[in-house]
Amino acid sequence: MRPAPKIELHVHLEGTVRPRTLLAIARRNGAPLPARTEAELARHYRFVDFAHFIEVWIATTNCLRGYRDFRQVVVDYAAEAARHGAVYLEGIFSPAERVRRGVRWADIFGGYADGAVEAYERHGVVVRLTPDIDRELDPALAQECARQAVRYRDRGVVGFGIGGREAAAGLARYARAIAVARDGGLGFVPHAGEVTGVASVREALRYDPVRLRHGVRAADDPGVAAELVDRGVVLDVCPTSNLRTRVVRTLDSHPLPVLRAAGVACSIGTDDPAMFGTDLSREYALAARLGVGAADAYAAGLAGALCDEPTRAHLARVGRSAFAALS
C-alpha cells in the first residue's frame, strides 16, 4: 500500500544523516567524530537531557563541512522521506555553527539549495529551506545569517528560525536578525515552548511567528493555546524527539491531545530522525495514537507551510485526493 501523503515542516537536515553515512562523511573530511562505529554512535545518541542532546548534536554535526556534504544530505533525506509519503518538506539547517569553524556561507547555502533542486528532480519531493540560528550565537553573526538567508530566497529559502538551548537567551538579543529576515520576506519559525515553560511561547508570539517549532508547553495555558488558534500559528510537533530529549516523560503524558482538543493546528515532524532513531511513518503513527491522524497533520502542514501559492494549491489538491476529510 502506498503511504498517505505527508508534509514535514520540522526536520533538521544535519540530524537526518544515518550513522553509516555520517561515519563515511566524517572519514572523507578527515573530521573527528566522537564515535568510530555505528554501534558507538547509537550509544552516543542516548540523551540524558536536552542540554546533553544539544552537546551531542553540535559534536556530531560538525563533520559536515563541504558543499558536497550539504547537497548530499538533502537529497538523501528526500529519498528517505519520499518512501514515507512526503510530498513537501521544509528542512532546517544551522549555517552559523559551520561558519564559525571556517566553512563558507556559499558552500552551505549553495549546497542545500542545489540539493533541494536535485531532491525534487530525483525523488519528487518539494523541498524548501529554513535556516536556524542558535540562541547562544553572537548577534552580529546572527544578523549575517539572516542576510544570507534573504539572499537565497529565490533558491528555496522561505523561513528563518532560532533553536538550541531555550533557557540560554531571550529573543530580544536577536531582534535585529529577526527583523532582517522578516523585511527580506522570510517567515519566522522559532523553536519555543519545548524545554522551558509557556513563557517561552508567550515571548515568541511577540515576534509574529508563522509557526512554532515544538511549542508543546502551550498546552499548560488555555489562554496561550487559544491565542495560537486565533492567530493561526501552527505548531511543529515531534513526539519521539520530546521523549528522547526527555522534555516529555512518557507518550501518555505528551501534550498533543490537549493541544488538539484546544483546536491548535499541529503538524508532525521527525526533528532529528537519525539521532532519535525514528522516521516520518513512526512519528505519524505516534501522533495518530495521540489523536492527530494523517489528514489532520496534513491540513496543519498545509496551513503552516511557507511555500508560494501555486505550490500550496498543488499540495491542497494532493490532500483532497488522499483524504476525504479535506475535500
Ligand X SMILES: O=c1[nH]cnc2c1ncn2[C@@H]1O[C@H](CO)[C@@H](O)[C@H]1O
Active-site residue list: 194
Would you list the DSSP string of 244-307? Answer: HTTSSS-GGG-SHHHHHHTT--EEE--BSHHHHT--HHHHHHHHHHTT--HHHHHHHHHHH---
The reply on whether position 69 binds ligand X by CB under 6 A is no
Give the residue closest to ligand X by C-beta. Answer: 163
Where residue 222 falls (left for φ over 0; alpha for ψ -120 to 50; beta otherwise) is alpha
Q: Site for ligand X (CB under 6 A): which residue of 72, 143, 200, 241?
A: 241
Query: DSSP class of residue 157?
Result: B
Rounded to an integer, what distance in angstroms lies between the CA atom of residue 186 and that of residue 216? 23
For residues 296-325, which are near ligand X according to CB under 6 A?
A: none
Least separation in angstroms between residue 273's CB and ligand X is 11
- Rounded to an integer, what distance in angstroms lies between the CA atom of residue 101 and that of residue 79? 29
Residue 54 makes contact with ligand X by CB under 6 A: yes
280, burial (CB in 10 Å: exposed 0-12, middle 13-18, buried 19+): buried
Question: Is 286 or 322 the residue whose CB approaches ligand X more closely?
Answer: 286
Residue nearer to ligand X on the CB measure, 8 or 132: 132
Quick one: which segment of 54-62, 107-115, 175-183, 225-233 binds ligand X (CB under 6 A)?
54-62
CB atoms < 10 A from the CB of 28, how many?
Answer: 13
Q: With respect to ligand X, which residue has the nearer C-beta, 94 or 200?
A: 94
Pattern 180-219, ligand X, x by CB under 6 A: -----------x--x-------------------------
Q: Nearest distance from residue 15's CB to ligand X, in Å? A: 6
In the region spanning residues 93 to 132, those forming contacts with ligand X, defined by CB under 6 A, are 94, 97, 132
Q: How far is the CB of 121 from ligand X (least distance, A)?
A: 27
Interface with ligand X (CB under 6 A), residue from 12, 211, 244, 260: 12
3-state secondary structure (DSSP) of residue 232? coil
Q: Which three cell numbers stand for residue 288?
A: 495518530
Q: 190: closest CA among 172, 170, 166, 209?
A: 209
Site string for ligand X, 246-285 (x = CB under 6 A): -------------------------xx-------------
Q: Which is nearer to ligand X, 90 or 134 (CB)?
A: 134
Nearer to ligand X, 136 or 183 (CB): 136
State the cell numbers at 276: 532519535
Q: Is the Cβ of residue 69 or residue 272 nearer to ligand X in the bound state?
A: 272
User: Whole-angstrom Cα distance, residue 114 to residue 75?
Assistant: 9
In whole angstroms, give the CA distance from residue 159 to residue 279.
23
Total residues in contact with ligand X, by rule CB under 6 A? 17
- Residues in touch with ligand X (CB under 6 A): 12, 15, 54, 57-58, 92, 94, 97, 132, 134, 163-164, 191, 194, 241, 271-272
